[in-house]
Chains A and B, each alone.
Chain A
Amino acid sequence: MKKKAIVLIYGEGGHKAQMKRLYNLLIKNNRKNDVVFIGICENNHCIEELEENFSVEFLRGKYENYISFLIRLPFRIIKYIKILKSILKKYDIVGVISTGPGIAIPFSLFFKVVGKKIIFIETWSRFNTTSFTGKIMYKIADKFYIQNKSLKRFYSKAIFGGLL
């Protein structure tokens, strides 16, 4: 019997910090208790409290230029697919929540293709600019949350949710 699970996808640094705060809010309200939270994290920077974490390489590095990114992309995608298969084998996935950055895109797309619900929360550090990940996730997510009202002019269908 596979456990029901919500997948949390988050990169390191601020993305992890935001997801940790969201997770604390989610478990406060998750009185049902039959749903667990699993993580897809970047480079072993994982939230230990989750049921299980799957660490992956970043989609694009902090200092990586576009050429390197394009060359390495297919290899990273292949590794991501392996992780995805392990997750689907072990858990009955209900949906996916992500705080970015780039790793949110391939995994959200994969889970969307297999019919799962997709939630994305744009980062707390954006007020007057959009992120690469945000622009793409806006088209993929079932619900797209922004933490700063000023972003509404870029994402008209976004839901303002306040700051994590």
Chain B
Amino acid sequence: MKIFVTVGTTKFDSLIEYIDTHFDPKQYDIFFQIANGDYIPTNFPYVRFASDIKKFFLKNEVIITHGGAGSIYELLELGKKIIIVPNLERQDKHQLDIAYFMDQNNYAKMVLNIRELNSIIENIHLYKFRKFKKKNFFKANEILDFLLK
């Protein structure tokens, strides 16, 4: 199975370290995007940042993502199967909000305890998620009119 792991623009060492050391390279083809992380993976390849991250999204079956909204919306727009792991290493825990929303509405699977990742990945083919339909921002004109009148 081809899996891509993305942490966005904030390091998430506990996630990277867990996956690097608890998944069998003979069974899984994993690629990491680690940002400014201090933990360097030893069992799977990685990049810190990817200017064209979309190509990684497209060529992997499952994406394990931090709870960043930008990443989540982009992935769901592409129709990818995603597992959201909120980054609770940060001072603020705001990533829980969108992660819960997506999980409770069956758009994605949220994981709070990273040890559950192994069994979830093993059974990922059993998960059937709803398609998230994004309502695009439509107030740009209103904002400009208000500022320039």
**Selected contact of B95 from candidates A21, A22, A124, A125, CB within 8 Å:** A125
- Interface residues of chain A, those whose CB is within 8 Å of chain B, are 6, 12-14, 17-18, 21-22, 25-26, 28-30, 32, 35, 61-65, 94-95, 97, 117, 119, 123-129, 131, 142-143, 145, 147, 150, 159, 161-164
- Interface residues of chain B, those whose CB is within 8 Å of chain A, are 8-10, 67-70, 73, 90-92, 94-95, 97-98, 100-101, 134-144, 146-148
B137 with A62: CB separation less than 8 A = no
Compute how far the CA of A43 lies from the CA of B139 in the bound complex, rounded to whole angstroms: 28
Compute how far the CA of A162 lies from the CA of B101 in the bound complex, rounded to whole angstroms: 16
Compute how far the CA of A88 lies from the CA of B140 in the bound complex, rounded to whole angstroms: 25
A–B complex contacts, Cβ < 8 Å, 30 sampled: A13-B9, A13-B68, A14-B69, A14-B70, A22-B137, A29-B140, A32-B148, A62-B10, A62-B91, A63-B90, A63-B91, A94-B148, A95-B147, A97-B143, A119-B143, A125-B68, A126-B97, A127-B98, A127-B100, A127-B101, A128-B100, A142-B146, A143-B146, A145-B143, A161-B137, A161-B138, A162-B137, A162-B139, A163-B73, A163-B134
